Structure 1
Amino acid sequence: MIDNKLNNPLYGLKMDQLLTEISEHYGWPLLSDALRIERFQFHTGMKSTVKFLRNYQWAKDKVENFYLYQFKNLPCPDDKQLAIPPRDRLIPVEQQCGSPVDITAEVIEEIDRAAKLRIYTDNAVSRLSKEPAYDPSNPWNVK
C-alpha cells in the first residue's frame, strides 16, 4: 500500500513546503485569483496560512489539487478520484510530473469543478445536533 502512495507528489510533503513552492512560482496575488481563497489576498505569513489550511479542509484540498494538477501538471483524474482527498489518491506509476501550467480561465474553472466534487461535513453542525434542546423553564439544564 505504501508503494502506491510513493508516486503521489504529496506523500511526505509538508504544507509549508507545498505553499513555498507554489507561491514562489505563481505569487500570492495570482494564487488568490486562481484558487479563489480570500485568505491568500492578504498573506500575513506562512505560519498563519498553514494554520488556516489545517482548519479548513476545503481550502487545503483545493490547494493540494492545484499543486497536483496545475503545478506538477499531472493528468486530471476522473470524478471518482477527485472525490477522494488528494493525499489519499493513488497515482499510477506511469504518470510523471511535468512543468507548471499557466493560469487561465479554463484552469480556474477546472479547479472550481474539482472542489465541488468533494463533500464535507461541518463539525459545528454535528456538535450542535448533539446538544440537548433548550428548555426555557430550565435554562441551566439542572436536573
Structure 2
Amino acid sequence: MLEEQQNNPLHGLKLEEMVKELVDFYGWDILDTAMRFNCFHTNPSIASSVKYLRKSEWAREKLEAFYLNRYKRMPRPTEAEREIPPRMRTYAVGITPREPMKLTVESILDSQAKAASSYKAAKAAGRKSRR
C-alpha cells in the first residue's frame, strides 16, 4: 500500500495541515467562494473547519479534490478515477505538483457561472433530443 501511495500528494498529509496551507495561500474568502462551506463563511477558523470536514466525507473529498487540482495542479482524474476518493488516487511516476493556481473571487465566480450555463445548455439539449 505504501508503494502505491508514494506518488499521491495527500499521502501522510493531515487534514489540519491541508486547511492551513490553503488558508495561507488563498485566504478564507476564496475558499468560501470556491467550496461554499459554511465553516469557511461564518466565523472561519482552522479548528472549526477541520471539525466539520472530519464529519462530512463529501465535503472533505471536495476539499481534497480542490487541493489536488487547484493548489497542487495535478492532472484531473479520468472518468473511472472519479469513483475513487482523492486520498486513494495515485499518479504516474514522474508527475509532480506544480505551482498553485492563482485564483480570485471573481475568477471563481466566472468559472462557476460558465459551468452553470454549460449545465443548463446540456440539460436543455437533452430534453430536446427526447422529444
TM bucket normalised to smaller:
0.7 to 0.9
Instruction: Name the residue aligned to 1:137.
Output: none
**Alignment partners' CA distance in 2, 1:96 and 1:25:** 19
The equivalent residue for 1:51 is: 51
What's the TM-score, normalizing by structure 1?
Answer: 0.70
Structure 1: runs of 5 or more not aligned: 114-143
Match of 1:83 in 2: 83
Q: Deviations over 1:28-66 (max 9, x none)?
A: 111010112222112442122111001011110011001
> Residue 26 and residue 85 in structure 1: after superposition, are their counterparts in 2 closer, same or farther (change >3 A)?
same
Question: Where do residues 97-108 of structure 1 align in structure 2 (5 Å cutoff)?
Answer: 97-103=97-103, 104=107, 105-106=110-111
Contact 2:39 2:48 in 1 (8 A): no
Aligned ranges 1:19-30 → 2 under 5 Å: 19-30=19-30
Within 1, Cα distance between the matches of 2:92 and 2:66? 18
In our comparison, the structure showing a higher alpha carbon Rg is 1
Check 1:19–1:5 CA distance in 2 against 1; reply closer, same or farther (3 A cut).
same
How many positions carry a matched residue from both structures?
A: 110
Q: Unaligned stretches of 5+ in structure 2? A: 120-131
Look up the match of 1:72.
Answer: 72
> Does structure 2 retain, via aligned residues, the 8 Å contact 1:4–1:91?
no
Letter in 2 for 1:83: E
Q: Percent identity?
A: 35
In structure 2, do the counterparts of structure 1 residues 106 and 95 end up closer, same or farther at CA, with 3 Å as the change threshold?
A: farther
**Matched residues in 2 for 1:43 and 1:93: separation?**
41
- The alignment's C-alpha RMSD in Å is 1.9
- For residues 112 and 6 of structure 2, what CA distance do their matches in structure 1 show? 26
CA separation of 1:83/1:107 partners in 2, compared to 1, >3 Å: closer, same or farther? farther
Q: How far apart are residue 93 of structure 1 and its match?
A: 1.2
Deviation at 1:20, TM superposition (A): 0.5
